[in-house]
Amino acid sequence: MQIIYHSHSTIQLISGDHSLIIDPFISGNPQSKTKVEDIRTDAVLLTHAHADHILDAVPIAKANQVPIVANPELAAYLTWQGAENTVGMNIGGTFDLGFAKVKMIQAFHSSGIIDEEKQVIHYGGMPAGYIIEMDGKTILHAGDTGLFGDMKLIGERHLIDVAFVPIGDHFTMGPEDALQAAEWFNAKLTVPVHYNSFPVIHQDGDRFVQQLESKGLKGRKLELGDTLEL
């Protein structure tokens, strides 16, 4: 399996002829080394409705003629925005993509679409994360979340190969809480995401990895565009 860190919280998993992408936020991040039109995927997974997680979902899904998987409210909203194929699911549920199984798990955050022009906020459904079983590996994408105790239960119930956890603070967990989350998830490898895209979420990814290792956990910082081989 190949894992590409595109930008912010945007992760793409590739195995053979199949791939999926999570929370595509590429065109909105000038630091991204990827172009939206270059993405080839079989599915788009969304954790919640904020713009920095859904911005490029519809263009990528339409260009590849693939489904968008999201909570029911966000799936319905994106259908109205032109998405041709959406799958609405909810926390605790599992959806079989054929080449991968994706389970939606809990996250503590907010979720909505802000229309600045009309000064309207559209409800975006419950925020979530995903546990993905693909190519014999188990990948956890925590989504945008704060620390919560059931992370320990998730780690006890799943043998996680790679966990992607936010460390940016302000909008999500900061590094201290993310370290606790990493201990509870107990993944073979923990990768920090959702930081340094904006000044308010600036963090030191190298230091976070060092702190993981001081706790006996393996971590890796990925630069935008980096590929991880499993």
Whether the Cβ atoms of residue 203 and residue 165 lie closer than 8 Å to each other? no
16 pLDDT band (50/70/90 cuts)?
very high
What pLDDT, on a 0 to 100 scale, did the predictor assign at position 14? 98
What pLDDT, on a 0 to 100 scale, did the predictor assign at position 30? 84
- Domain architecture of the chain: domains with CATH: 2-229 (3.60.15.10)
197 pLDDT band (50/70/90 cuts)?
very high
- Residue 134 forms beta bridges with which residues? 100, 137
What pLDDT, on a 0 to 100 scale, did the predictor assign at position 31? 85
Distance between the two ends of the chain, CA-based, in angstroms? 5
- pLDDT tens for 21-78 read 999 999 998 889 999 999 999 999 999 999 999 999 999 999 999 999 999 999 999 9
206 pLDDT band (50/70/90 cuts)?
very high
The span from the CA of 185 to the CA of 159, in Å, is 9
144: amino acid identity, one letter: D
- pLDDT tens for 96-155 read 999 999 999 999 999 999 999 999 999 999 999 999 999 999 999 999 999 999 999 999
* Burial class for 99, CB neighbours closer than 10 Å (0-12, 13-18, 19+): middle
What DSSP state is assigned to residue 188?
A: S
